[in-house]
């Protein structure tokens, strides 16, 4: 959409939390996923969501394994997982369920 010579970017789904590339990464259920990525694209954040979603599912039988370049990045990833787990637990409580053990 162009208004008076100025370009505007309108997302395909303004209600979405994830960008299209992040959503595609989350939906990919491959056993092994590798990606060469640039910095600050939200891939760790969306991967943390995907890990939590798969692990929190009823009947989930597998843990998640994520490799990180160093201790700091690993800690940041765990913080992202913790954030998503808290959000999922809030949603579960609304339904009278519990997603995260106390």
Q: Which residue reads 């992040």 in tokens?
A: 22
Tokens of 1: 């959409």
Q: What is the pTM of this model?
A: 0.78
Query: Quick one: pLDDT at residue 101?
Result: 56
Distances (CA, A) of 61 to 25, 54, 55, 56, 89: 21, 9, 8, 10, 19
pLDDT for 57-70, tens place per residue?
878 877 788 888 89
What value does the mean pLDDT of the chain take?
A: 84
**How far is Cα 9 from Cα 57, in angstroms, rounded to an integer?**
35
List, for the chain, all residue ranges whose pLDDT scores fall below the cut of 50: 1-2, 102
Give percent of the chain above pLDDT 70.
86
């Amino acid at each position: 959409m162009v208004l008076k010579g100025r370009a505007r970017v309108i997302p395909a789904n303004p209600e979405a939390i994830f960008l299209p590339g992040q959503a595609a990464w989350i939906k990919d259920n491959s056993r092994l996923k590798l990606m060469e990525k640039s910095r600050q694209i939200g891939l760790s954040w969306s991967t943390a969501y995907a890990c939590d979603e798969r692990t929190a599912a009823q009947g989930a039988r597998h843990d998640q394994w994520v490799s990180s370049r160093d201790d700091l990045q690993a800690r940041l990833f765990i913080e992202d997982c913790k954030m998503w787990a808290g959000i999922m637990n809030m949603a579960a409580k609304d339904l009278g369920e519990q997603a995260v053990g106390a």
